[in-house]
């Protein structure tokens, strides 16, 4: 949260987050609401995930908005992409979701949604922050304060839209186990898959902000009970969301976790078979996706790390007349341009059901034919990350590194990404190669280059 003029101070790439009762509290959220209501006059949609602190924070958000004279449509508990979809449908001057996505239960936060349903971009967020810090709110007089409307049933618009992307009966004959992790996806994904014809079992599908079954982050570790249930029920696949259900990860019929880059490549293979164009992804994405897309006549376009940058690039390319097949992040977040320009967990769940039912093969079979890569991730603590990055770029100048976000070296049989953390004094390193030893050697080379930096 270090301050610098012209840069975001409070909001990160996924909204503002903090520990409840410490740096996240109703007073801050009240100011966020008042700033948003002042900046986006009209009707603002408000929703939240299932966190215990959600009612207190959402009340503060609504109060701040109403005080400026903007109206509030309270959508209640729903996935972030559901609120984005409803806002995109029209009639709203903006939206806000009280959520901390995949963070542990003690966290909460706010994501701001623009009129078109996308997360508010950097320029808008900087203007919003200026109002929050200077307390420059346009408060309405008594006869012009906003009106609150409660609209918990509008979630149905989203459920119907996602299911409506697939022909009736797409999921027939397929048994799935859905684990929304006690989060907002409990309200949508089991219902959507049932409407698609799947036989649906659920795990952790009762909304509970204490997250008794597992943490909101759908890690392979936390999904062991899901894997067991997939095997015990003989299901074709298992799937799990993070707390606000914009991301989905999968378990195959043998109970094995499908690594998220493989999930991305699997969906890219399906979408790139159906149409040609650009696949947009952050520079941290496995080359597996580029391989798969390339073989099918599609190309990659790399962005900075953050789903909002992927979404915006997709929209810019389309506006310029370039066909865009999809976007994705390699963490279970996939963006479907025919649906909306944000990660959508229920769409990803439904898409995999349609891929499986169309293939007639088990998930392990269709994932097994993807190219194999070895990815290694490391982080190194370093005081002067900025100086280090400058020296690394100079050192590797001859290789013409990609400087979209940090430094990415692209070699024939491997690549490496070194990125400074936005919040901690460290750099993150990702290396990847089809050959394990090549990946390990490249990691060693980068580590040596970092240790040789005289700033440390
Ligand atoms: Mg999320």
3-class secondary structure, 215? coil
Which one is catalytic: 101, 182, 357, 414?
Answer: 101
Taking the centre of ligand 1 as the mean of its atom positions, its distance from the CA of residue 241, in whole angstroms, is 8
Taking the centre of ligand 1 as the mean of its atom positions, its distance from the CA of residue 248, in whole angstroms, is 9
Taking the centre of ligand 1 as the mean of its atom positions, its distance from the CA of residue 132, in whole angstroms, is 24
Q: Does position 354 have pLDDT exceeding 50, yes or no?
A: yes
Are 352 and 252 within 8 A, CB to CB?
Answer: no
For residue 6, name the pLDDT band (cuts at 50, 70, 90).
low
Higher pLDDT, 13 or 66: 66
Taking the centre of ligand 1 as the mean of its atom positions, its distance from the CA of residue 288, in whole angstroms, is 23
What DSSP letter does each residue of 233-263 carry, written as one string? HT-SEEEEE-TTSS-EEEE-TTS-EE-HHHH
* Residue 318: other Cβ atoms inside 10 A: 15
3-class secondary structure, 404? coil
Q: Does position 4 have pLDDT exceeding 60, yes or no?
A: no
For residue 224, name the pLDDT band (cuts at 50, 70, 90).
very high
Q: What's the predicted TM-score (pTM) here? A: 0.95
**In a 10 Å sphere around its CB, with 0-12 CB exposed, 13-18 middle and 19+ buried, how is residue 421 labelled?**
middle
Taking the centre of ligand 1 as the mean of its atom positions, its distance from the CA of residue 406, in whole angstroms, is 23
Distance, CA of 135 to CA of 196 (rounded, Å): 48
Mean pLDDT calculated for residue range 131-148: 97
Axis crossing angle, helix 260-274 with helix 287-295, rounded to the nearest 10: 20
Q: How far apart are the first and last CA of the chain?
A: 24
Strand partners, 238: 177, 251
What are the C-alpha distances in Å from 16 to residues 268, 281, 307, 344? 31, 23, 15, 20
Q: What is the pLDDT of residues 161-177, one digit of tens each?
A: 999 999 999 999 999 99
Q: Does position 40 have pLDDT exceeding 70, yes or no?
A: yes
Are 429 and 447 within 8 A, CB to CB?
Answer: yes
For residue 456, name the pLDDT band (cuts at 50, 70, 90).
low
Q: Does position 158 have pLDDT exceeding 80, yes or no?
A: yes
- Strands 324-328 vs 278-282: parallel, antiparallel or unpaired: parallel
Q: Which of 369, 211, 206 is nearest to 288 (CA)?
A: 369
Are 304 and 404 within 8 A, CB to CB?
Answer: yes
Taking the centre of ligand 1 as the mean of its atom positions, its distance from the CA of residue 16, in whole angstroms, is 13
Mean pLDDT calculated for residue range 394-421: 96
Q: Which of 395, 397, 413 is nearest to 450 (CA)?
A: 395
- Strands 175-179 vs 199-202: parallel, antiparallel or unpaired: parallel
Question: What tokens does 451 get?
Answer: 């240790």
Q: Does position 56 have pLDDT exceeding 80, yes or no?
A: yes
Taking the centre of ligand 1 as the mean of its atom positions, its distance from the CA of residue 138, in whole angstroms, is 31
DSSP code of 214? S
pLDDT of amino acid 12: 81
3-state secondary structure 90-147: CCCCEEEEECCCCCCCCEEEEEEECCCCCECCHHHHHHHHHHHHHCCCCCCCHHHCCC
pLDDT of amino acid 15: 84
Mean pLDDT calculated for residue range 252-279: 98
Q: Which of 361, 393, 179 is nearest to 266 (CA)?
A: 361
Taking the centre of ligand 1 as the mean of its atom positions, its distance from the CA of residue 11, in whole angstroms, is 15
Mean pLDDT calculated for residue range 364-370: 96
For residue 35, name the pLDDT band (cuts at 50, 70, 90).
very high
Beta strands in 362-411 (DSSP E): 374-381, 407-410
Domains of the chain: residue spans and CATH? 16-156 (3.40.120.10), 167-258 (3.40.120.10), 260-345+359-368 (3.40.120.10), 374-451 (3.30.310.50)
101 is catalytic: yes
What are the C-alpha distances in Å from 266 to residues 184, 260, 431? 25, 10, 21
Distance, CA of 210 to CA of 319 (rounded, Å): 43
The dihedrals phi and psi of 122, each to the nearest 5 degrees, come to -55, -45
3-class secondary structure, 308? helix
For residue 310, name the pLDDT band (cuts at 50, 70, 90).
very high
Taking the centre of ligand 1 as the mean of its atom positions, its distance from the CA of residue 450, in whole angstroms, is 32
For residue 455, name the pLDDT band (cuts at 50, 70, 90).
low
Distance, CA of 342 to CA of 264 (rounded, Å): 15
Q: For 8-17, 124-133, 208-217, which range has the lowest pLDDT when averaged over its residues?
A: 8-17
Question: What tokens does 309 get?
Answer: 């940058």
- Strands 148-150 vs 71-77: parallel, antiparallel or unpaired: parallel
3-class secondary structure, 314? helix
What are the C-alpha distances in Å from 284 to residues 80, 81, 148, 296, 421? 23, 23, 42, 21, 13
Taking the centre of ligand 1 as the mean of its atom positions, its distance from the CA of residue 102, in whole angstroms, is 6
């Amino acid at each position: 949260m270090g301050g610098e003029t012209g840069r975001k101070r409070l909001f990160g790439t996924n909204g503002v987050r903090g520990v409840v009762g410490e740096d996240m509290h109703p007073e801050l959220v009240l100011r966020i609401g008042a700033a948003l209501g002042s900046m986006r006059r009209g009707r603002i949609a408000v929703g939240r995930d299932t966190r215990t602190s959600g009612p207190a924070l959402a009340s503060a958000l609504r109060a701040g908005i109403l005080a400026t004279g903007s109206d509030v449509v309270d959508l209640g508990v729903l996935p972030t992409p559901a609120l984005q979809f409803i806002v995109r449908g029209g009639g709203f001057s903006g939206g806000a979701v009280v959520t901390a996505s995949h963070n542990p239960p003690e966290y909460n936060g706010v994501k701001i949604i623009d009129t078109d349903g996308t997360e508010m971009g950097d320029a808008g967020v900087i203007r919003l922050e200026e109002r929050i810090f200077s307390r420059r709110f346009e408060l309405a007089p008594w006869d012009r304060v906003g009106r609150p409307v409660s609209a918990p049933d509008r979630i149905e618009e989203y459920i119907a839209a996602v299911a409506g992307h697939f022909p009736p009966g797409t999921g027939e004959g397929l048994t799935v186990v859905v684990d929304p992790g006690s989060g907002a996806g409990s309200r949508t994904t089991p219902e959507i898959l049932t409407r698609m014809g799947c036989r649906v079992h659920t795990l952790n599908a009762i909304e509970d902000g204490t997250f008794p079954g597992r943490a909101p982050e759908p890690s392979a570790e936390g999904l062991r009970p899901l894997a067991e249930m997939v095997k015990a029920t003989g299901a074709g696949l298992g799937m799990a969301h993070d707390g606000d259900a914009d991301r989905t990860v999968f378990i195959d019929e043998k109970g094995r976790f499908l690594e998220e880059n493989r999930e991305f490549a699997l969906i890219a293979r399906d979408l790139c078979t159906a149409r040609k164009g650009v696949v947009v992804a952050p520079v941290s994405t496995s080359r597996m996706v580029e391989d798969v897309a390339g073989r099918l006549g599609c190309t990659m376009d790399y962005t900075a790390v953050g789903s909002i940058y992927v979404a915006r690039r997709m929209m810019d390319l389309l506006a310029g007349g370039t066909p865009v097949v999809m976007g994705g992040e390699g963490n279970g977040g996939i963006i479907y341009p025919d649906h909306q320009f944000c990660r959508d967990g229920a769409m990803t769940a439904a898409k995999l059901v349609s891929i499986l039912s169309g293939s007639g093969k088990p998930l392990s079979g269709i994932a097994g034919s993807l190219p194999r890569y070895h990815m290694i991730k490391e982080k190194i603590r370093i005081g002067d990350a900025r100086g280090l990055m400058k020296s690394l770029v100079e050192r590797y100048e001859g290789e013409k590194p990609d400087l979209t976000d940090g430094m990415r070296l692209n070699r024939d049989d491997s690549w490496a990404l070194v990125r400074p953390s936005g919040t901690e004094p460290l750099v993150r390193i990702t290396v990847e190669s089809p050959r394990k030893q090549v990946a390990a050697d490249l990691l060693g080379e980068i580590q040596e280059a970092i240790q040789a930096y005289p700033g440390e």
